[in-house]
């Protein structure tokens, strides 16, 4: 899977549209792989627009993926 290309596409679209697309992905691991490639500002905007439980899940998975950094 080309997560780098996916992250560039997500980065280029408005946050609300990016959230809709990421919510449609069924595998949270795919979302995390895309999110870790985004700039922190864009990732933060997306997480803020998610439902709180989904946003919390994404943050936990991103931190786990980044080794807690």
Confidence of residue 13 (pLDDT cuts 50, 70, 90): very high
From residue 43, give the alpha-carbon distance in Å to each of 20, 26, 57.
14, 18, 13
Longest dimension (CA), the chain: 29
pLDDT of residue 65: 84
Confidence of residue 1 (pLDDT cuts 50, 70, 90): confident
Lookup: tokens for 44: 């933060």
43 Cβ neighbours under 8 A, 6+ residues apart: 35, 36, 62
Q: What pTM did the predictor assign?
A: 0.85
> Model confidence over 16-63: pLDDT tens digits?
999 999 999 989 999 999 999 999 999 999 999 999 999 999 999 999
């Amino acid at each position: 899977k080309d997560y780098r290309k996916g992250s560039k596409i997500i980065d280029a679209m408005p946050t609300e549209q990016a959230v809709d697309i990421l919510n449609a992905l069924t595998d949270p691991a795919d979302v995390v792989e895309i999110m870790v490639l985004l700039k922190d500002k864009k990732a933060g905007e997306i997480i803020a627009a998610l439902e709180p439980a989904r946003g919390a899940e994404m943050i936990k998975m991103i931190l786990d993926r980044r080794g807690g950094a």
